[in-house]
């Protein structure tokens, strides 16, 4: 279970986010055939981006301008299953799983930001998408920034879902001022998918789609948790391969939707006012974390030539889940050309 905790800590560090066996294919998309009175039929597919490396995607359907949804560290295309259908009346929505996760190939290398951004280019070429709107969560912001700088003609607009950060600076900050670790995983927590879903919700602060959990984790026939699909070495390779965002190269209009932590629980959802760590974390939030992340938001404003920013107070890092209605409104307004 130590690897479970390490993966959770790495995911936190990446946000504000091999030669092992090939991961098993993730389950089907468990969403209704209609959503908000819009008909859509999601389809799983694969794109070969390099020799022996295939990336999984979900085509949620829809007509209009294409949107490519990019998941955060540790997540897969399935994480967008409840959010993507909201957009299919106006856009053609596709979600991508990066290499090493879910049903995508567990590759030997290619986990640095430049390589991951080039995977996006190959996917667009294979799907015959000349230009797209990029919408990325968490660490996907690094790949978006790099891609937009390298291929400005392929990007219409960009939306960062709590993803426009300098993660090298974040890693240094959290190494110096580490937050309290998530709660230990108990035997009861891994006894079933339902129990593990509750544990993940307690740690992440939001409930992830069940198919997202079965894409990330391996469960036995009796429903108990066996382990992770992705080795922790992949997480470490991604963090080691990160680069400071060069916003000056981003030509496309960009919207940054930021989750602003106003209480310790906004920052680390497993910490409650009754927790022993609450008081010390509250002090860290006021004196260290909040000023740092405010500076990160200002850096986005100053760095992206055509930037728009929305701050969501008391929002979860998974803003498209915790604040789905407002994120949808802001995203639609921005993509429909109503820049502020």
Inside any domain, residue 8: yes
The pLDDT assigned to 93 comes to 98
Instruction: Return the HEC string of 148-197.
Output: HHHCHHHEEEEEEECCCCCHHHHHHHHHHCCCCCCCCCCCHHHCCHHHHH
Inside any domain, residue 315: yes
Q: Is 255 helix (H, G, I), strand (E, B) or coil?
A: strand
The pLDDT assigned to 206 comes to 97
Report the share of the chain in percent with pLDDT over 90. Answer: 86
pLDDT single digits (tens) 279-309: 999 999 999 999 999 999 999 999 999 999 9
- Distances from the Cα of 265 to the Cαs of 5, 273, 316, in angstroms? 18, 8, 9
pLDDT band at 41 (very low <50, low <70, confident <90, very high): confident
Inside any domain, residue 179: no
What is the average pLDDT value for the chain, to the nearest integer? 89
pLDDT band at 337 (very low <50, low <70, confident <90, very high): confident
Number of domains the chain contains? 1
* Residues 176 and 202: beta-carbon distance below 8 Å: no
The pLDDT assigned to 39 comes to 55
pLDDT band at 161 (very low <50, low <70, confident <90, very high): very high
pLDDT single digits (tens) 111-154: 999 999 999 999 999 999 999 999 999 999 999 999 999 999 99
Q: Is 55 helix (H, G, I), strand (E, B) or coil?
A: strand
User: Does residue 9 register a pLDDT over 50?
Assistant: no
Inside any domain, residue 254: yes
Q: pTM of this prediction?
A: 0.90
Inside any domain, residue 146: yes
Inside any domain, residue 273: no
pLDDT band at 34 (very low <50, low <70, confident <90, very high): very low
Inside any domain, residue 223: no
The pLDDT assigned to 202 comes to 96
Lowest mean pLDDT of 22-31, 80-89, 170-179, 289-298, name the range. 22-31
pLDDT band at 14 (very low <50, low <70, confident <90, very high): very low
How many whole angstroms separate alpha carbon 106 and alpha carbon 32? Answer: 30
Inside any domain, residue 279: no
The pLDDT assigned to 173 comes to 96
User: Does residue 178 register a pLDDT over 70?
Assistant: yes
Report the share of the chain in percent with pLDDT over 70. Answer: 87
Range of the structural domain that residue 252 is part of: 2-174+228-263+290-335
At 252, which CATH number? 3.40.50.1820
The pLDDT assigned to 276 comes to 93
The pLDDT assigned to 17 comes to 47
Where do runs of H (alpha helix) occur along the chain?
2-14, 113-126, 140-150, 167-176, 193-204, 210-216, 232-240, 264-267, 278-284, 290-303, 319-322, 324-335
């Amino acid at each position: 279970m130590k690897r479970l905790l390490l993966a959770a800590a790495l995911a936190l560090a990446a946000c504000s986010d091999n030669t092992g066996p090939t991961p098993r294919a993730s389950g089907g998309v468990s969403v209704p055939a209609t959503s908000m009175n819009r008909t859509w039929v999601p389809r799983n597919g694969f794109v070969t981006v390099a020799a022996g490396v295939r990336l999984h995607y979900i085509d949620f359907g829809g007509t209009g301008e294409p949107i490519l949804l990019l998941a955060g560290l540790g997540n897969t295309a399935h994480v967008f299953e409840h959010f993507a259908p909201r957009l299919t009346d106006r856009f053609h929505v596709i979600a991508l799983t990066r290499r090493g996760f879910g049903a995508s190939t567990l590759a030997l290398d290619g986990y640095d930001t430049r390589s991951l951004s080039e995977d996006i280019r190959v996917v667009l070429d294979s799907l015959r998408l000349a230009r797209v709107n990029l919408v990325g969560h968490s660490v996907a912001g690094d790949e978006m920034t790099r891609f937009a700088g390298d291929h400005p003609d392929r990007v219409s607009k960009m939306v960062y879902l709590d993803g426009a950060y300098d993660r090298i600076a974040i890693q240094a900050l959290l190494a110096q001022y580490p937050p309290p670790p998530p709660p230990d995983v108990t035997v009861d927590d891994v006894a079933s998918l339902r129990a593990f879903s509750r544990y993940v919700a307690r740690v992440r602060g939001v409930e992830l789609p069940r198919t997202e959990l079965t894409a990330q984790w391996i469960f036995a026939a009796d429903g108990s948790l066996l382990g992770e699909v992705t080795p922790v070495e992949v997480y470490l390779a991604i963090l080691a391969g990160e680069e400071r965002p060069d916003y000056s190269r981003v030509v496309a209009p960009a919207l940054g939707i930021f989750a602003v932590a106003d209480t310790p629980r906004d920052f680390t959802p497993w910490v409650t006012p009754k927790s022993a760590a609450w008081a010390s974390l509250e002090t860290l939030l006021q004196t260290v974390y909040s000023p740092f992340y405010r500076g990160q938001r200002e850096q986005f404003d100053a760095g992206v030539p055509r930037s728009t920013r929305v701050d969501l107070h008391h929002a979860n890092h998974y803003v498209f889940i915790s604040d789905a209605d407002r994120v949808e409104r802001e995203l639609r307004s921005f993509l429909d050309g109503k820049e502020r």
